[in-house]
Structure 1
């Protein structure tokens, strides 16, 4: 049994499950519809695939070592997360505080299409400036001495993407399963407002904060 691999799975699972922008966007879109939530979840996994591929290729090292490039990614990611947050707050204001107790009334309008949801999930993760640093520092720690690094890092990268493909769709399905309660107008409005506030705050931190390394 590969003890280092098991340890990595545990660490990676905690990293993937940690609530953040990815989790918030998946929940918000799953609240609109199951299809939107699942598409967002797949998009997040696609973003993780980009980060892990960059780390395996060593390109993440270039990004981390180039402050201007890193700051550019940070600003782009922050601006996009800020846009999502403000969009959520606008949607909350349009959502009625009370309405007939039907699930459709709680949806508060048309759900984003699968393509748009997939794009939102992908960009939210792919433009996360902390991810290259995280993967660049994490993956080498689980490459045993004397083992070829490329096959091992490819395996570790695959584990991260696989965990994301399990976790985020599970979150989307759980939100949809609880939809009758979560889509009640007052509950949905609170969730939309909370997710919009969280994304707006995170976007502001990324846009105005100092360089993250």
Structure 2
């Protein structure tokens, strides 16, 4: 058994499962509907696919070498996450009676959920740097780098395709309780605060750099 591959799978699982903007946006969409949650989860995996492809190609190194480009991407990603936080907070502020009941205006279409998941992950500027620094650590000395890196990247995407849909289905399974008006408002508000804070952190880091 490849001990390095096993170790990497554990590290990758921790990276994918770590709560953050991806987790928050999947939970928010899952509260709208099972389909919205699952398609958002697939979008997150698609964003990870972009990052891992960049890491494999070495393009992510450009972000490290050109600080201005990195900051520009950081501002863009922070602004988008902040926008999602604003939307969640605005939704949490609506009348309590509108929670837990069908509301076509509040339930995103599958395409919208897919885009939210994809852009939330794809616009995270730290992800390609993280992958670029982690993947090489698990390439055995003397072995071809490209095939091994492709395998490692595939493991990350596969884990995301398992983890985030499971989160979406779990939230949907608990949906009756989670969609109770007061609970739904609390989750929506908490998600909005979390996304807003994450967005502000990204923007602050970019503008203060």
The answer on 1:23 being equivalent to 2:23 is: yes
The two structures have a TM-score, normalised by structure 2, of: 0.96
Task: Indicate the residue corresponding to 1:204 in structure 2.
Answer: 200
| Aligned-partner SS, 1:128 | coil
How far apart are residue 132 of structure 1 and its match?
A: 1.2
Task: Indicate the residue corresponding to 1:144 in structure 2.
Answer: 140
The answer on 1:125 being equivalent to 2:121 is: yes
Question: Is the contact between residue 74 and residue 206 of structure 1 (CA under 8 Å) also seen in structure 2?
Answer: yes
| Aligned-partner SS, 2:147 | helix
- Which deviations, in whole Å up to 9, do the C-alpha atoms of 1:15-42 show, x marking residues without a partner? 0000000000000000010000001000
| Pairs within 5 Å for 1:45-194 | 45-96=45-96, 103-104=100-101, 110-194=106-190
The answer on 1:195 being equivalent to 2:191 is: yes
Distance in 2 separating the partners of 1:173 and 1:211: 38
How far apart are residue 11 of structure 1 and its match?
A: 0.2
- Which deviations, in whole Å up to 9, do the C-alpha atoms of 1:54-83 show, x marking residues without a partner? 000000001111101000100000000000
- C-alpha root-mean-square deviation of aligned residues, in Å? 1.8
Distance in 2 separating the partners of 1:176 and 1:64: 39
Question: Is the contact between residue 74 and residue 206 of structure 2 (CA under 8 Å) also seen in structure 1?
Answer: no
Aligned CA distance change for structure 1 residues 148 and 9 (closer, same or farther; 3 Å):
same
How far apart are residue 110 of structure 1 and its match?
A: 3.4
Distance in 2 separating the partners of 1:108 and 1:19: 28
How far apart are residue 103 of structure 1 and its match?
A: 4.8
| Aligned-partner SS, 1:13 | helix
Question: Is the contact between residue 29 and residue 112 of structure 1 (CA under 8 Å) also seen in structure 2?
Answer: yes
How far apart are residue 104 of structure 1 and its match?
A: 2.8
Structure 1, unaligned runs of 5 or more: none
